[in-house]
Structure 1
Amino acid sequence: MKNRSKSSKNLSKNNGNICFTSGDTHYFVDDYLVNGEYLFLNDGGTADIKYHNGKAYYTDHIFAFTSQKICLKFLYYFLKTQQDYINKFCFQGTGLKNLQKNKLAQIPIPIPPIAIQQKIVEILDAFTELQAELQAELQAELQARRKQYEYYRNKLLSFEELQRRTDMLNGGGLELIRLGEIGTFTRGNGLTKSDFVEFGVPCIHYGQIHTHYHNYTYNTISFVSAEKAKKLKKAKYGDLVITGVSEDKDCVCKAVVYLGKQEACVSGDTFIFSHSQNPKFIGYMFQTENFNTFKHKYAQGAKVLRVHNKQLEKFQIPLPPLKVQNDIVEILDKFDTLANDLTNGIPAEIEARKKQYEYYRERLLSFIAKD
């Protein structure tokens, strides 16, 4: 194995020969270091094994491997089944762990006759291609469903539709109401990830709203001690917990509706919005095109974007009677489950297809290993 370096200023995202880096993004360069079949492995972090046939360049923290004694594509498929083992035993060090080549070299590899290796590669290539096609179809279907969901969500939450439903209910008028008129914003404080404990008082960190929580939650994934909780701001049942910062305009002010029975502590860079409306209805309002346009206008900052609670208080929403709010939420919950819930619908099918592919790949290669 060997690695090389390449100045980042010479990397392109469009033309030339592929250049392997330690990140997920593919880059291209005008020149190349190798030409043929190679495996590329990253030096730090976790195992990321890639197969390439043709001209390629690779930067520091990438190892290139080739061999005339084994079918490289066969070895690639086998090592993909060993990624958990490689991550656990072949990377060492504090902080960012580094690949230990001597430990990687000790992994026993089944080497059937070359004709068998090529046959296995042929089967797995066909299966991989089929898997990719199915995944692409499911992803396209999922995107179509999500766009359909977003269309109906915006339509159902539009002033015109809410006015129509209000008229049908009681013939009353509908006005635009500022959030500051129907509730209060409280800024979170003092909670960091280092405060987390295994059991204790529920808490929500602003980063988790971006990475873990969807529209609403009944439980938190983190907790703090009772002593720490005394010093922190808390969200109660029905409150919205809103991120105040993000590096992405579309993600700033992402909100999760808290429906837990026990109050939950929240971190700094969040706002708690307390109100007396249907919690999910207000939560869905934070996902509309109108709110997206609003927060883009008020998001400030260079790398990190912020929206302040004084701006959020100004956001206007059409506020129908609770009966109309409840009906809208019931409809949108069904749409949302179909489009986004990881335990139902298309996302679950995508995950099932992925696991099915991994299962058959590992069964095929483990059978060879036993022989």
Structure 2
Amino acid sequence: MGSMSFLDKLLEGVEVEWKPLGEVAEIKTGQAVSKNMISENQGTYPVINSGREPLGFINIWNTNNDPLGITSRGAGVGSITWQEGKYFRGNLNYSISIKDKNQLNVRFLYHLLNEIQMEIHSLCTFQGIPALNASNLKPLLIPIPTIEIQQKIVAILDTFTELTAELTSELTSELTARKSQYTYYREKLLSFDENQVEWKTLGEVLTIKNGKDYKSFKVGDIPVYGSGGVMTYIDTPIFEKPSVLIPRKGSLGNLFYVDFPFWTVDTLFWTDINITVVLPKYVYYYLQTQKLADLNMAGGVPSLTQTILNKVKIPIPPLSEQERIVSILDQFDTLTTSITEGLTKEIELRKKQYEYYRDMLLSFPKN
């Protein structure tokens, strides 16, 4: 309630003037740029073009201390961009340059344009390549309270964005540390000398099977896996026991472990594992340490064959040792998954909090 009364007080009696965006800011298109140009002129200056993130980094710049922009074409059309310092603005990004900084705070305008994102999107055309014409953008009416009020609003909203950035950095660092720790112990636990344990080939401990087409089945609750993950759900499993799924084509290192009924398409192998010799989860963890992409024999789309995979050697310690290794690695996996989920939830919470206050602070009544 304290925050509410403060905000009400902040906005109480504020005089707001509405003006067209083109009257208070200069809207210009950046310069032509291409991936080929970037690759031939690599440097440290970000290239801001059709997305929120840099297209790349180049050795020349055409913009300095003019951070605000709006994407003019492509899938991200109408997105608001912010890039401080020197950078290269591409031809798919409009500069939104404040004409009188005593009248309009650029950071206030950034928050405001994000608040009216839907209104900006309504000005875009989506026939063919999505586009936003400057002639449609210039008449867009924006509220302009006093510069003092703008500065106070910016201070509040920037606090939320800074807190989110700090939280993201902290949790990302924690996640990176845990993943490094997990990788270290996985490598340590699964590294065996040639004479320390028995070694077998995959072909000796499991049978590799091809996936099949699923389209003749009805919709159900059985997941259908492709090399990118779950594609859909059907009513019939191809296998019901624990298995390691290995990509046949595409992202060759993208392994899956499943311990429930499933189906796989033809871009993904599934395995029938001899559990009297080796634990399926142990196979999964061990294969994660192997660079399967290096076994690619194709010139085009990366691919693996059963013949190649069957020759891959795997150490086979006693089942009790396999269980110990799996138990330790499961704990690390659970921990990293928990941090990842927590990071996502916290960022989403902060984002909603920011949007709530942004909506409250920037919803000015039109006269």
What is the deviation of 1:320?
A: 3.1
Contact 1:20 1:27 in 2 (8 A): no
Root mean square deviation, CA, Å: 3.5
Say if 1:13 and 1:310 are closer, same or farther in 2 by CA, change over 3 A: same
What is the deviation of 1:107?
A: 7.0
What is the deviation of 1:322?
A: 3.3
TM-score normalised by L of structure 1:
0.74
**Bigger shift: residues 132-141 or 47-56:** 47-56
Percent identical pairs in the alignment equals: 28
Say if 1:37 and 1:279 are closer, same or farther in 2 by CA, change over 3 A: closer
Q: Which amino acid aligns with 2:247?
A: T
Report what 1:336 is aligned to: 333
Instruction: Find the partner of 1:368 among 343, 361, 364.
Output: 361
Q: Name the CA distance, whole Å, in 2 between partners of 1:198 and 1:96.
A: 36
SS of 1:118's partner is helix
Report what 2:228 is aligned to: 208
Tell whether 2:43 aligns with 1:14. yes
Q: Name the CA distance, whole Å, in 1 between partners of 2:131 and 2:225.
A: 30
Tell whether 2:145 aligns with 1:118. no
Tell whether 2:311 aligns with 1:281. no
Contact 2:227 2:254 in 1 (8 A): no
Report what 2:269 is aligned to: 271
Q: Which runs of 5+ in 1 are unaligned?
A: 164-173, 210-219
SS of 2:43's partner is coil
Say if 1:336 and 1:54 are closer, same or farther in 2 by CA, change over 3 A: closer
Q: Which amino acid aligns with 2:70?
A: F
Larger Rg: 2
Q: Name the CA distance, whole Å, in 1 between partners of 2:226 and 2:127.
A: 27
Q: Name the CA distance, whole Å, in 2 between partners of 1:105 and 1:196.
A: 53
What is the deviation of 1:336?
A: 0.5
**Bigger shift: residues 174-183 or 69-78:** 69-78
Tell whether 2:219 aligns with 1:199. yes
Report what 1:241 is aligned to: 245
**Bigger shift: residues 138-147 or 323-332:** 323-332
Instruction: Find the partner of 1:307 among 304, 316, 339.
Output: 304
Contact 1:236 1:258 in 2 (8 A): no
Output one character per residue of 1:308-359: Cα deviation in whole Å (capped at 9) or x when no partner. 22111011112234333333222221110101x1xx2x22332244224323
SS of 1:30's partner is coil
Report what 2:210 is aligned to: 187
Q: Name the CA distance, whole Å, in 2 between partners of 1:353 and 1:108.
A: 34
Instruction: Find the partner of 2:95 among 53, 64, 72.
Output: 64
What is the deviation of 1:360?
A: 3.3
What is the deviation of 1:304?
A: 2.9
Contact 2:227 2:268 in 1 (8 A): no
Say if 1:350 and 1:78 are closer, same or farther in 2 by CA, change over 3 A: farther
SS of 2:58's partner is strand
Say if 1:369 and 1:81 are closer, same or farther in 2 by CA, change over 3 A: closer
Say if 1:206 and 1:22 are closer, same or farther in 2 by CA, change over 3 A: same
Say if 1:57 and 1:323 are closer, same or farther in 2 by CA, change over 3 A: closer
**Bigger shift: residues 115-124 or 312-321:** 115-124
Tell whether 2:83 aligns with 1:52. yes
Contact 1:19 1:28 in 2 (8 A): yes
Q: Which runs of 5+ in 2 are unaligned?
A: 1-26
Contact 2:221 2:233 in 1 (8 A): yes
Say if 1:353 and 1:102 are closer, same or farther in 2 by CA, change over 3 A: farther
Q: Name the CA distance, whole Å, in 2 between partners of 1:198 and 1:35.
A: 58
Report what 2:10 is aligned to: none
Tell whether 2:172 aligns with 1:175. no
Q: Which amino acid aligns with 1:240?
A: V
Contact 2:227 2:267 in 1 (8 A): no
Report what 1:214 is aligned to: none
TM-score normalised by L of structure 2:
0.74
Say if 1:180 and 1:146 are closer, same or farther in 2 by CA, change over 3 A: same
What is the deviation of 1:106?
A: 8.0
